[in-house]
Chain A
């Protein structure tokens, strides 16, 4: 029995009301107005950081050393060559003896990664594989894509024991359908006419894959508790379901008005939302879109009740802060150049041999713990920092990324470079010991105070676009009550 053993999701804290975008750019293209809001990655978030966040939600309390593979689906990696899955696996503190791969170049890559992970387990080459998907796609100012695209991530752990939803079957179709594309030098998607994409793309490929699956396994659409698939528009989404003979109650609602179209992550985020509401015995049908479609169906088991404590879609939807400025949104995404000043422009070359040597300290937030006195310390030390101990070379590795902490002191620094000034940083004391200075993110200066609880979040620490290098590290996020 192979299938999903855990799930997690991530939606960035910031949301922008589409009216805010329309108020700024609607003059250019009055037909772009869409209802609701969309999720916006903070200026220190990208596909990699969001994939880590969703995967941490998925791995909550599970043994990370037993994971044997990580597949990351994304179309928005900052690197053309440097595997994003490798960065995510290091941040998650997975062991090095695993298989990692990026699935990319099509927004159906999320389901393809999911299928590949299931195939690896079915084929006996791994027992536990994470499939995660994250995208943060850009639309040009004033484009429909700018209104539609939102940011988000989902992660699913696949395995052959403790399965909460077994994979019962799949059916895929693949077409070289050039509805949107990004060339080698393109920062933004280019698209063909949206009516063609709607009528010849979504409303053909998704039904084709779903019908093919129903026929292959001799099932009826009525057999499913939930049918999960993406679409670009609300009416089109309903029409696809109706065309398949599904009742409105069977159709998993999209998150277009809350998150937006999150590319590769969309179908997996919707699947996580469906699992949050699923009961044992439910059948769930999932279909993706993008150069064809992958359809898969799952059978929910009794084990589902053991993974109810994920933050998931519901939890992340509830944690939100409105981004009221379109200009700030555009600056976060880098679509308008901002004055960085000499502090923002001066970036030394990242010493990659140093980063490699320190990769566990930097990317997985490993420090050390003194075996003699028990004091955790960061960054890793050879000589114990506790003044009345001072033991030499009696350290063991100690992971801080999953430790809660509290804010010992802080400032909001208007002089330091930040894309979202003031730069808020402070000293964090960890539960169980250990202290270091960290940036704070996803918060306002007015809302933080000494002593408040924080948790750690993997973020982009700096960008060195001139050399094509993006640095990642952990930041502290105030825990929402």
Chain B
């Protein structure tokens, strides 16, 4: 009987760069910045690290393929370095690789680092899916962008739950407004200003019905974690954060090809959540999860994720959004750091950035954003589009 990852691995150090349009920083700078903070936080040196997992997504346009961008930038002494890429969930994949390596007993310590230098791509927003989904795809799939693919989920959600565009957009605006508020409290966030529901509702449309403020920013950033065996963790620090679960789920093809999928939720999010709760021994996520960083690439993604992860009942997210359940001072804060909404989404860095915030919150080091007595924290990292994607869920706790 498989035991799962619960309480076998601990995070003993993390680093995260400031996210933003870092015109004066290269991807190497971002790697070094995240790494320096990470090993200082862990209280270790480079020579203590025997293996690394490196995440980057748009490799062709900046760092190149393979693990060498990490190994050569950090001058790792001929270490085993694996590059992982799983769309926008690549950062969580790096952590999963490092955690599994430690849990297997092959290594006592491992580094996970994700970086993305999007502002050298030349695109506002991400490059089209056509360039990342293979050449056959381009022959038969619309020139979709990420906002468009997720906008189709908003159209569907409004239709299934009988919301007028005005009602639907107001519900979504409340999600973004909340995250913008949290972002003002975070010096590492890219976007740091309050945005009202009215401003969000009146913003230019990017992909109907999603407007500018329904979309996360585009930025550069890097984040890193050092993991070790749980039984060794307290040798490094008194407050390690333990991995309770690490699960991913990938589309089976039925969402895009079989007519049962309602497109008003993300099936992989539900499946990954179920597996993660089982692995972590959680039976009532609405009550047991203290806080979460969800993959709010778009406001609608955060909305359906409340339901997919059972923070809200199916079709009932709107009530919880409007009651302030997910606000920083609410009963189940979501995106306390400002989320992708305020950090932007340097693809392979985001998953580790989410865990960085949960780690700091659990250690009581989140400053003005500090949530009272958090016990269990969840991150949800999605790659792809609603009908064809993968989702990584990580649960960490003290």
Q: Interface digits, A444-478 against B, CB 8 Å rule (1 contact, 0 not)?
A: 01000011000000000110000000010100000
Residues of B within 8 Å of A346, CB to CB, are 127-128, 131
Q: Would A423 and B258 be within 8 Å (CB), given that A342-B122, A410-B152, A450-B156 are in contact?
A: no
- Answer yes or no: B135 CB below 8 A from chain A CBs: yes
**Partner of B139 from A358, A386, A408 at Cβ < 8 Å:** A358
Residues of A within 8 Å of B250, CB to CB, are none
Q: Would A429 and B151 be within 8 Å (CB), given that A413-B145, A416-B145 are in contact?
A: no
- Answer yes or no: B368 CB below 8 A from chain A CBs: no
Q: Are B258 and A411 in contact (CB under 8 A)?
A: no
Q: Interface digits, A368-391 against B, CB 8 Å rule (1 contact, 0 not)?
A: 000000010111010001110000
Q: Are B144 and A437 in contact (CB under 8 A)?
A: yes
**Can you list the 6 inter-chain pairs with the closest CB atoms, starting with the nearest?**
A413-B148, A411-B151, A425-B142, A385-B257, A409-B156, A413-B207
Q: Would A348 and B138 be within 8 Å (CB), given that A411-B207, A415-B206 are in contact?
A: yes
**Partner of A435 from B130, B144, B256 at Cβ < 8 Å:** B256
- Answer yes or no: B205 CB below 8 A from chain A CBs: yes
Q: Are B136 and A408 in contact (CB under 8 A)?
A: no
Q: Are B254 and A386 in contact (CB under 8 A)?
A: yes
CA gap between A346 and B121 in the complex, in Å: 12
Residues of A within 8 Å of B208, CB to CB, are 411-413, 422, 445
A416: shortest Cβ distance to chain B, in Å? 5
CA gap between A343 and B145 in the complex, in Å: 10
**Partner of A473 from B122, B140, B155 at Cβ < 8 Å:** B140
Q: Are B156 and A473 in contact (CB under 8 A)?
A: no
CA gap between A379 and B256 in the complex, in Å: 10
Q: Interface digits, A426-441 against B, CB 8 Å rule (1 contact, 0 not)?
A: 1101000111111100
- Answer yes or no: A361 CB below 8 A from chain B CBs: yes
Q: Would A385 and B139 be within 8 Å (CB), given that A415-B125, A415-B207 are in contact?
A: no
CA gap between A471 and B207 in the complex, in Å: 25
A387-B258, A425-B144 known, 19 other contacts, Cβ within 8 Å = A343-B127, A343-B128, A381-B257, A408-B263, A410-B152, A411-B147, A413-B206, A413-B207, A414-B206, A415-B147, A416-B128, A423-B143, A427-B387, A436-B257, A437-B142, A438-B142, A450-B155, A450-B159, A471-B139
A408: shortest Cβ distance to chain B, in Å? 7
Q: Are A355 and B259 in contact (CB under 8 A)?
A: no
Most buried by B among A434, A435, A438: A435
Q: Are A377 and B258 in contact (CB under 8 A)?
A: yes
**Partner of A385 from B128, B135, B258 at Cβ < 8 Å:** B258
**Partner of B387 from A386, A387, A422, A437 at Cβ < 8 Å:** A437
CA gap between A473 and B140 in the complex, in Å: 7
B151: shortest Cβ distance to chain A, in Å? 4
Q: Which of B89-148 contact A (CB under 8 A)?
A: 122-125, 127-128, 130-131, 135-136, 138-145, 147-148
CA gap between A140 and B140 in the complex, in Å: 33
**Partner of B205 from A358, A414, A427, A434 at Cβ < 8 Å:** A414
Which residues of chain B have a CB within 8 Å of any CB of chain A?
A: 122-125, 127-128, 130-131, 135-136, 138-145, 147-149, 151-153, 155-156, 159, 204-210, 252-254, 256-260, 263, 387
A and B contact pairs by CB, cutoff 8 A, 5 listed: A361-B140, A385-B258, A411-B208, A413-B147, A471-B139
CA gap between A332 and B205 in the complex, in Å: 23
Nearest neighbor of B159 in chain A, beta-carbon distance: A450
Q: Are A409 and B144 in contact (CB under 8 A)?
A: no
Q: Are B155 and A409 in contact (CB under 8 A)?
A: yes
Q: Are A379 and B258 in contact (CB under 8 A)?
A: no
CA gap between A433 and B124 in the complex, in Å: 37
Residues of A within 8 Å of B124, CB to CB, are 415
Q: Would A433 and B136 be within 8 Å (CB), given that A342-B122, A415-B206, A450-B159 are in contact?
A: no
A-B pairs with beta carbons under 8 A, tally: 147
Residues of A within 8 Å of B205, CB to CB, are 412, 414, 422
CA gap between A471 and B137 in the complex, in Å: 13
Residues of B within 8 Å of A343, CB to CB, are 123, 127-128, 143, 145
- Answer yes or no: A417 CB below 8 A from chain B CBs: yes
Nearest neighbor of B130 in chain A, beta-carbon distance: A348
CA gap between A362 and B128 in the complex, in Å: 20
**Partner of A377 from B148, B149, B153, B257 at Cβ < 8 Å:** B257
Q: Would A413 and B258 be within 8 Å (CB), given that A348-B135, A385-B253 are in contact?
A: no
Residues of A within 8 Å of B127, CB to CB, are 343, 346
**Partner of B142 from A342, A423, A450 at Cβ < 8 Å:** A423
A130: shortest Cβ distance to chain B, in Å? 25
**Partner of B252 from A375, A379, A387, A415 at Cβ < 8 Å:** A387
Residues of A within 8 Å of B148, CB to CB, are 411, 413, 415-416, 423, 425
CA gap between A391 and B163 in the complex, in Å: 39
CA gap between A409 and B205 in the complex, in Å: 17
Nearest neighbor of B208 in chain A, beta-carbon distance: A412
Residues of A within 8 Å of B143, CB to CB, are 343, 413, 416-418, 423, 425, 439, 462
Q: Would A411 and B155 be within 8 Å (CB), given that A343-B123, A343-B143, A445-B208 are in contact?
A: yes
- Answer yes or no: A351 CB below 8 A from chain B CBs: yes
CA gap between A438 and B131 in the complex, in Å: 17
Residues of A within 8 Å of B139, CB to CB, are 350, 354-355, 358, 362, 461, 471, 473
Residues of A within 8 Å of B151, CB to CB, are 411, 413
Residues of A within 8 Å of B254, CB to CB, are 385-387
Residues of A within 8 Å of B259, CB to CB, are 408, 429, 433-435
**Partner of A408 from B145, B149, B156 at Cβ < 8 Å:** B156
B161: shortest Cβ distance to chain A, in Å? 12
Residues of B within 8 Å of A418, CB to CB, are 143
Most buried by B among A385, A411, A425: A411
Residues of A within 8 Å of B130, CB to CB, are 348
B252: shortest Cβ distance to chain A, in Å? 7
CA gap between A206 and B254 in the complex, in Å: 60
CA gap between A435 and B252 in the complex, in Å: 14
Q: Are A354 and B123 in contact (CB under 8 A)?
A: no
Residues of B within 8 Å of A451, CB to CB, are 159
CA gap between A350 and B124 in the complex, in Å: 25
Q: Would A416 and B142 be within 8 Å (CB), given that A346-B131, A385-B254, A386-B254 are in contact?
A: yes
CA gap between A471 and B140 in the complex, in Å: 10
